[in-house]
Amino acid sequence: MAKGANQKLKILYLMKILMEKTDEDNTITLNEMIAELEKYGITAERKSIYDDIESLRQYGIDITTRKTKTTDYFVANRLFEMPELKLLVDAVQCSKFITHKKSNELIKKIESFASVHQAMQLQRQVYVANRTKTLNESIYYNVDKLHLAIAENRQVSFKYFEYTVNKEKKFRKNGEKYITSPYALSWDDENYYLITYSEKYGDFTHYRVDKMADIEINEQARVKLPDGEHFNIAEYSKKVFNMFGGEEETVKIQFDNSLVNVVIDRYGKDITIERADENNFIVRIKVAVSSTFFAWIFQFGEKVKILSPECVVEKYAESLNKLTSLYL
């Protein structure tokens, strides 16, 4: 039998056909495989297909058969199971920092891990209340560049902007570039943040990645952390509410027992919980005291009370008085 120009690619096209067109609910016969190969200009005999299928099995592809009136073939287990792919699609669709365009591109790529029939189940819209997408298309590549800078232990420079009431970009420092030492990227409150160490202030700070522009990786090595200091991104994220900084304090707070799951969700199961009385418990947590920390406390109303230190109690009372004055 004369071999076509694509004959050497036969086993690869056969793998493509099986991966794209079959799953547990959609099978293919040998004759159908031969017909599909012909669409690529490849001729094949049944025996060669048997040999190729065995080779693909040895390679690690789980090709299974099912006996009906014919012998039906399909790919049973894949790299990702359908629930995992659905989870990935939902995460991409719900991610605020990924634009609509990039979301669609990523979902198409995720679909390639399933058969064409299963992929139809992944083409679904996930609606989340009050969810908006970023306007900055470059964020996807900015994240990759920042990861590279961290891995290579190098500083980065960038411009940083905010939006005006006219929805126009306004660069801070009159467009002058920031030069920082990146130590981690954190996804917090639906936004990506770059966490850096400032030698000038001797502390960590952070920037919204979607508000960074003209990012460049510099030749200079990152500023080293002070001797003995180790950066713990989990601890940093727990104490800095919604990435709004403030003076760090160890705060003693009393919560109603009904809020124990809220506290554990925020601070983890390792937090020490003290019993105050039958209805309340007390925790001591290290936080960056800021308006967002107070907003977190405020949402629980009379079920939570800051006990100490006095300076934080006074700041919280002052913020409540300012808020109340707006309505009097």
Q: Is residue 16 part of a domain?
A: yes
How many angstroms separate the CA atoms of 180 and 297, rounded?
32
Q: Is residue 255 part of a domain?
A: yes
Q: Is residue 101 part of a domain?
A: yes
The end-to-end CA distance of the chain, in Å, is: 93
Buried b vs exposed e over 24-59: b needs ≥16 C-beta within 10 Å?
eeebbebebbbebbeeeebebeeebbeebbeebeee
Question: Do residues 147 and 205 share a domain?
Answer: yes
**Average pLDDT, stretch 115-123?**
86
Q: Is residue 44 part of a domain?
A: yes
**Bridge partners (DSSP) listed for residue 206:** 195
Say which range, 127-131, 294-298, 311-315, has the weakest mean pLDDT: 127-131
How many angstroms separate the CA atoms of 146 and 187, rounded?
13
Mind listing the pLDDT tens digit for each residue in 247-297?
A: 788 899 999 999 998 888 778 778 889 999 999 999 998 888 888 889 889
CA neighbor of 207 nearest in space, from 224, 225, 185: 185
Q: Is residue 116 part of a domain?
A: yes
Question: Do residues 247 and 313 share a domain?
Answer: yes
Question: Do residues 313 and 253 share a domain?
Answer: yes
Q: Is residue 173 part of a domain?
A: yes
The CATH number that applies at residue 282 is 3.30.70
CA neighbor of 309 nearest in space, from 261, 251, 260: 251
The single-letter code of the amino acid at 18 is: L
For residue 65, pLDDT over 90 is answered with: yes
What is the reported pTM?
Answer: 0.58
Phi, then psi, of 265 in degrees rounded to 5: -60, -35
Question: Do residues 220 and 248 share a domain?
Answer: no
pLDDT band with cut points at 50, 70 and 90 for residue 2: very low
- Residue-level pLDDT at 261: 87
- Residue-level pLDDT at 312: 92
The CATH number that applies at residue 223 is 2.30.30.100
Question: Do residues 195 and 167 share a domain?
Answer: yes
Positive or negative, the Cα torsion across 266, 134, 106, 76? positive
**Bridge partners (DSSP) listed for residue 162:** 170
The CATH number that applies at residue 45 is 1.10.10.10
23 is written with which tokens? Answer: 């799953």
For residue 131, pLDDT over 80 is answered with: no
Domain of residue 285 covers 241-325
Question: Do residues 224 and 184 share a domain?
Answer: yes
Phi, then psi, of 138 in degrees rounded to 5: -80, -10
Question: Do residues 33 and 70 share a domain?
Answer: yes
Question: Do residues 287 and 251 share a domain?
Answer: yes
Residue carrying structure tokens 């996804």: 187
Question: Do residues 164 and 195 share a domain?
Answer: yes
How many angstroms separate the CA atoms of 323 and 311, rounded?
18
**Strand ranges in the chain using DSSP code E only, listed in sequence order:** 63-67, 71-75, 154-163, 169-171, 178-188, 191-198, 203-208, 212-221, 247-256, 274-275, 280-289, 304-308
Q: What is the longest distance spanned by two Cα atoms in the chain? A: 93
10 in Cβ contact with 45 (< 8 Å)? no
Question: Do residues 221 and 271 share a domain?
Answer: no
Mind listing the pLDDT tens digit for each residue in 220-238?
A: 999 988 876 677 777 776 6
- Residue-level pLDDT at 1: 41
Q: Is residue 45 part of a domain?
A: yes
Q: Is residue 51 part of a domain?
A: yes
Question: Do residues 144 and 182 share a domain?
Answer: yes
Domain count, the chain: 4
Question: Do residues 157 and 113 share a domain?
Answer: no
State which of 185, 207, 229 marks the end of a domain: 229
